[in-house]
């Protein structure tokens, strides 16, 4: 005998189909590990399991009126894979349930063995029942192919199959008991509308054990700017060099923090100078303009200040008390101012540095009518008109 065959082989890469390592997926994935610590299903996780079931067969299952399987136990297995969103799972399962014919008869088959294959799309509702691992409540829907094999009849033609196609629905619980290990309890309803002569519906209750294998975990990505598209484990994920330090701030003026040290206005502040010795008044006796000893001492103290500040000009103001006429007191005040100027000129101060003025009795510092008050008004006042430079120089001996 000779034969020939042709076909198409399909070898899907589960990691590429369901997230792990897909080159067009913007998410990068860590190396695929089949068995490690896992709290919940991951994209690409494979569910492999077995189960035992009890089936309530429809009264017209098999051949209506001739061969109907009894309700009873069966067993089977499942294989599923979780999608990129691991709440969704594509699952296929199959079972075998060998039963006796529920319709006795000498010529009828004694055995009716039921088996089926189903494929469903399941949705998993996450549950946190115990501990940190996740369990799931499952609902699913898909299609099924159910067949019955009849055996033991007197007519060899009774050893035949019947095939039915229909819809399958599932509701169940996947209860995680250990790492990647879960108990699975399901209720399944298979409905075959094309069963002859009338539609057929079987109900199954299952319990079994499932193992969850593999799964793709998102790769930890590099966090440095510009390198976010490569894994953190890449040798290229290195910190960029630090930016150069900023230039030091310009030096600020130590006397004025609001201007630069190079600003021409950055000058040390002028220290306040006590000019009391320059401006101290001198006093005279009644109706006199001669310099008393106490006045001479006051004038002597002015000399070093005037020598240290040669550009300084002084105005000497002569004053008198209220006794006497206005004209007499103005003349007396002028004589008193001239006496002070003459004393200072005699001690080496240039005459052109003084201005003289008399106020007579017009500017009293005391207005009472007694000798103590009049003594305060018989005086010369000294006013600095100009210092002649940018600051007053203190004499060395002060």
Q: What is the mean pLDDT of the chain?
A: 86
User: So what's the pLDDT on residue 21?
Assistant: 44
Burial 161-185 (b: 16+ CB within 10 A, else e): ebebebbbbbebbbbbeeebebebe
pLDDT at 64 over 60: yes
User: So what's the pLDDT on residue 150?
Assistant: 81
Q: What is the largest CA-CA distance in the chain?
A: 171
User: So what's the pLDDT on residue 100?
Assistant: 80
pLDDT at 298 over 60: yes
> In whole angstroms, how far apart are CA 206 and each of 54, 174, 342?
7, 12, 134
CATH code of domain 276-386:
3.30.1330.60
pLDDT at 153 over 90: no
> In whole angstroms, how far apart are CA 298 and each of 101, 282, 309, 344, 358?
146, 7, 18, 11, 20
Q: In the chain, pLDDT over 90 holds for what percent of residues?
A: 53
pLDDT at 160 over 60: yes
CA–CA distance, 38 with 217 (Å, rounded to integer) = 10
Q: Which CATH architecture has domain 38-218?
A: Beta Barrel (2.40)
In this prediction, residue 6 has a pLDDT band, given cuts at 50, 70 and 90, of: low
Q: In the chain, pLDDT over 70 holds for what percent of residues?
A: 89
| 110 vs 386, residue with greater confidence | 386
CB of 118 closer than 8 Å to CB of 143? yes
CA–CA distance, 133 with 213 (Å, rounded to integer) = 15
User: So what's the pLDDT on residue 228?
Assistant: 84
CB of 118 closer than 8 Å to CB of 169? no
Reported as a single tens digit per residue, the pLDDT across 16-37 is 444 444 444 456 777 778 888 8
pLDDT at 257 over 90: no
pLDDT at 13 over 60: no
Considering Cα of 175, then 176, then 177, then 183, what sign does the dihedral take?
Answer: positive
pTM above 0.75, yes or no: no
User: So what's the pLDDT on residue 140?
Assistant: 96
For the chain, the domains span 38-218, 276-386
């Amino acid at each position: 005998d000779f034969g020939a065959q042709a076909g198409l082989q399909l070898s899907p890469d589960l990691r590429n189909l369901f997230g792990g390592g897909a080159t067009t997926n913007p998410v990068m994935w860590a190396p695929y590990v089949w068995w490690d610590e896992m709290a919940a299903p991951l994209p690409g996780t494979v569910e492999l399991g077995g189960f035992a079931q009890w089936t309530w067969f429809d009264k017209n299952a098999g051949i209506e009126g001739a061969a109907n399987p009894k309700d009873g136990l069966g067993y089977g297995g499942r294989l599923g894979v979780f999608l990129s969103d691991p709440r969704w799972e594509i699952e296929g399962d199959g079972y075998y349930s060998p039963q006796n014919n529920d319709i006795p008869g000498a010529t009828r088959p004694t055995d009716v063995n039921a088996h089926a294959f189903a494929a469903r799309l399941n949705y998993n509702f996450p549950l946190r029942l115990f501990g940190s691992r996740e369990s799931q409540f499952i609902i699913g829907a898909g299609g099924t192919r159910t067949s019955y094999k009849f055996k033991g009849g007197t007519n060899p033609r009774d050893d035949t199959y019947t095939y039915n196609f229909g819809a399958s629905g599932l509701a169940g619980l996947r209860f995680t008991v250990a790492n990647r290990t879960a108990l699975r309890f399901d209720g399944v309803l298979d409905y075959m509308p094309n069963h002859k002569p009338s539609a057929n519906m079987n109900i199954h209750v299952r319990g079994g054990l499932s193992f969850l294998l593999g799964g793709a975990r998102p790769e930890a990505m590099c966090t440095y700017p510009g390198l976010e598209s490569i894994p953190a484990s890449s040798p290229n994920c290195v910190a960029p060099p630090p930016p150069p330090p900023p230039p030091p701030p310009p030096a600020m003026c130590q006397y004025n923090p609001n201007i630069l040290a190079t600003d021409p206005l950055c000058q040390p502040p002028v220290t306040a100078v006590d000019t009391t010795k320059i401006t101290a008044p001198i006093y005279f006796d009644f109706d006199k303009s001669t310099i008393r000893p106490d006045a001479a001492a006051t004038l002597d103290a002015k000399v070093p200040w005037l020598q240290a500040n040669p550009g300084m000009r002084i105005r000497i103001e002569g004053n008198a008390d209220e006794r006497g006429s206005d004209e007499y007191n103005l003349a007396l005040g002028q004589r008193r101012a001239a006496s002070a100027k003459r004393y200072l000129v005699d001690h080496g101060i240039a005459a052109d540095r003084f201005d003289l003025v008399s106020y007579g009795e017009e500017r009293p510092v005391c207005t009472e009518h007694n000798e103590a008050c009049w003594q305060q008004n018989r005086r010369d006042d000294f006013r600095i008109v100009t210092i002649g430079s940018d600051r007053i120089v203190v004499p060395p001996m002060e």
